[in-house]
Amino acid sequence: MISLFLKEIRGFFSSLTAYLVIAVFLLLNSLFLWLFPNAFNLLDSGYASIEGLFLIAPWVFMFLIPAITMRMFADENKAGTLEFLLTKPLTDTQIILAKFFAGFVLVLFSILPTLIYFYTIYELGNPVGNIDVGGTLGSYVGLFFLAAGYVAIGLFASALSDNQIISFILASLLAFVFYFGFDQLADLQLLGSLDLFILNLGVNYHYTSMSRGVIDSRDVLYFLSLITVFVLATRLILQSRKWD
């Protein structure tokens, strides 16, 4: 499993994929947070907070993470190497987790440089350090869990097709539904007492809860469950290929 994980990491950094993902994520966030006049601009907001980062990042990741994961199984399947990989002394779960952690580590590399934003606002605060450290740390934890959920969704989409574009579109669509769709369905208030249940199915509800700086076990359990469901669904797809 470790060797496959390292192989995936080397594959990312031996091509432009890793560098493009990190550069695009940082560039988009930097433009909206520091340059473009908008509600997220840190210098125009008038108070020491990087909340804008945690509002923008889920939407950027909605497209960047599928771009990372779309090739993980689709490429293997198209090249005919997936069957060879499945014959190695690794369980399907180990193969999936190796690719999952490789994708997550790459996303982690794109998030870590944003700590510069935190340090900058920390120093610019009046007085210095006048920033909600607890809320910011909670937001980072929430962003890590959200990214992990997106990676699991992306792997599932990649296993469904040998076409990278189809995998990318499907992963982005699923990420959109889980982040935004359940919220909108609950806001329609069509199902009465079930509306709160539907709201709890959405990523944004739990992500927003973590962003308040309080790490609730229910939010952690939600994200772990989301990851587990899509990992298991991916395993079912791989097993069905064996049966075929």
DSSP per-residue codes, 83-129: HHHHTSSS-HHHHHHHHHHHHHHHHHHHHGGGHHHHHHHHHHSSSTT
**Res 174: pLDDT:** 95
**Res 122: pLDDT:** 82
In this prediction the pTM is 0.91
Of 182, 224, 184, 218, the residue nearest 203 (C-alpha): 182
**Res 158: pLDDT:** 92
Q: Work out the percent of the chain whose per-residue pLDDT is above 90.
A: 41
| Rounded distance between C-alpha atoms, residue 129 and residue 45, angstroms | 16
In which residue are the tokens 């040998």 written?
162
**Res 89: pLDDT:** 74
**Res 192: pLDDT:** 73
**Res 86: pLDDT:** 64
Neighbours of 84 (CB within 10 A): 10
Q: What is the pLDDT of residues 129-170, one digit of tens each?
A: 777 888 888 899 999 999 999 999 999 999 998 888 999 999
Residue 168 CA: distances (Å) to CA of 45, 81, 128, 157: 35, 20, 43, 7
* Residues of the chain falling short of pLDDT 50: none
Residue type, 19: Y
**Res 244: pLDDT:** 53
